[in-house]
Amino acid sequence: MKFIICSYLLIVSGLTYFLIQDKELKESIQRGKEIYTDFCISCHLETGEGVENTFPPLAKSDYLMNNREASIKGVKYGQRGELMVNGVTYNNTMMPLGLENEEIVDVMNYVLNSWGNSGAKMVTIEEVNTLLK
């Protein structure tokens, strides 16, 4: 009987955690879409495809999926020099956008969950604050 009760409580708490995180992620993605539209769309375009040989794509981006920390820092501090995205080398400058850490969380959640990307886990304010000390 104790096993059944413990199992039930474990299942309920697990479901609650995932439902709450799912709602938070959806809200973050929605805010991130607005930030993307205001700050990122002119270079990376509405579809996240970027501009060939100039601005790297965010859509289906192996760089974003494999370089989460560097991507977060790039949004905060800008990006200079070479980086390879989907087998293509880009060498350009992205200036710092002046975003607050909360805005970085939201835009990263939007980008990591759009255009064929699927973020393994939600970007959180704790993660961003720790990276950007």
Tens of pLDDT, residues 48-88:
999 999 999 999 999 999 999 999 999 999 999 999 999 99
Could you report the per-residue pLDDT of 103-126, keeping only the tens digit for each?
A: 999 999 999 999 999 887 999 999
**Three-state SS at 123:** coil
**Three-state SS at 85:** strand
Asked whether the whole model's pTM tops 0.85, one would answer no
The reported pLDDT for the residue numbered 119 is 80
The chain-wide mean pLDDT, for the chain, equals 89
E strand or H helix at 112: helix 101-112
For the domain made up of 21-131, the CATH class stated in words is: mainly alpha
